[in-house]
Amino acid sequence: MSRNIKKLKSWLAIGFVLSCSRALASEPQTLSELLENARAEKGMPGLRAAIRYPDGRIVRAAVGLGDREAGTPLDNTVGMPGGSTGKTFVAAVTMLLVEDGTLSLDDRASKWLGDTDWYAQLPNAEHIQVRHLLSHSSGIPDYPGTSGFRRAMIWRAIRHGSAKFDPEELIGYSLAKEPTFPVGQGYHYSDTGYLVLGRVIEAASGRSYYDLLKKRILHPQKLDGIRPQNKSVLTNIVPGYVSGARNLKKDGRMKFDPSSEWTGGGLVTTPTMLVKFFGALAEGRVVKPETLALMLKGEWQNPMEPSWRYGYGLFIYDDGKCFGHAGLWSGYRTDVRHYAASGLTVAVQTNRDGRMELENLLARLAAAAGELE
């Protein structure tokens, strides 16, 4: 996409938000009404959102269906896989270990993984540091686009009904490949890189990632609605819909086993839990304020797009005025953003995947937040 087209889209989005804000000033709507309009327009089975205010108050709503076949309404507490929004939790755990002195951003991954039988085959293996894994600047290719992964995914789904992979298998699809660029000299979103980071976390700490997450973040922040995707069948979740088709089999399994995602995301969550976490992160209650500043600064920045970058587990917009993360899992879409100027944190989630421009809905809700209190 050309830079001019990107600029045009940005101005259109800004104009959309401002026009919505003006309309809402004269005709206040409830959050449910705003969500229902968006749900109907995009043909989503269900849609829900939460808005957290700077004083900690949360407004939330859910519309549409959680289970289309059963006719069950969507609510605010049932779980959905949050996709890559889980990467921000991985990054926060990593930065807590950095604060402890257990890890350093300058540590080479080889310090912790060099004695494995696979690490030396990783692209750029000798030069990758923790900071590069956090910021997708390691040059490690991603596994979903590889022919080996696609073949294995199809074969296992047909033969077993669900395709399950362990982290080393998924990392293996990127071994002995050419790096996408030299370490630290570009940006390439890589689930594989975050799986490698997960192994670094566990090697350095001597504990499992999910145990660390519970002890260091979920329990202290009282995020009891967030659960690890550490089972092949996830309980208390709504079905997702892929091109209109239900993603859950009769036994509750999915085509791609959710336990395979691990530190690529790997969390069942809700918008309420996400705004609590991102709000706490912004307020310095998860990591220290100076640590958050490092997360927002990140590493490589594209000189052609100086206001946009990927930090450490965070997408940064408008040079830090807004940050968050989106997530996609087969049948589900999630997006969450924190707006620095207003102190608002907004999250949305739907049980349908595909392109739906949730970022526009987030901006609209942020603009309307004053009318929704």
CA dist., res. 252 & res. 254, Å (int): 7
pLDDT at 11: 39
Does pLDDT of 81 surpass 50?
yes
SS (H, E, C) the chain: CCHHHHHHHHHHHHHHHHHHHHHHHHCCCCHHHHHHHHHHHHCCCEEEEEEECCCCCEEEEEEEEEECCCCEECCCCCEEECHHHHHHHHHHHHHHHHHHCCCCCCCEHHHHHCCCCCHHHCCCCCCCEHHHHHCCCCCCCCCCCCHHHHHHHHHHHHHHCCECCCHHHHHHCCCCCCCCCCCCCCCCCCHHHHHHHHHHHHHHHCCCHHHHHHHHHHCCCCCCCCEECCCCCCCCECCCEECCEECCCCCCCCCECHHHCHHHCCEEECHHHHHHHHHHHHCCCCCCHHHHHHHHHCCCCCCCCCCCEECCCCEEEHHHCEEEEEEEECCEEEEEEEECCCCEEEEEEECECCCCCHHHHHHHHHHHHHHHC
Does pLDDT of 373 surpass 50?
yes
Give the CATH fold of the 3-372 domain.
Answer: Beta-lactamase (3.40.710)
Dihedral over alpha carbons 185, 186, 188, 194 (to 10 degrees)? 40
pLDDT at 370: 74
Instruction: Calculate mean pLDDT across residues 356-370.
Output: 88
CA dist., res. 80 & res. 235, Å (int): 10
Instruction: Calculate mean pLDDT across residues 273-277.
Output: 98
Q: What's the pLDDT tens digit per position in 82-129?
A: 999 999 999 999 999 999 999 999 999 999 999 999 999 999 999 999
pLDDT at 314: 98
pLDDT at 155: 94
Does pLDDT of 16 surpass 90?
no
Q: What's the pLDDT tens digit per position in 294-333?
A: 999 999 999 888 889 999 999 999 988 999 999 999 999 9
Beta bridge partners, 256, equal 163
Q: With bands split at pLDDT 50, 70 and 90, how would you rate the model's confidence at 371?
A: low
pTM, two decimals, is 0.91
Query: 167: Cβ–Cβ under 8 A, 6 or more apart, which residues?
Result: 195, 198, 199, 262, 263
pLDDT at 145: 86
Report the mean per-residue pLDDT for the chain: 91
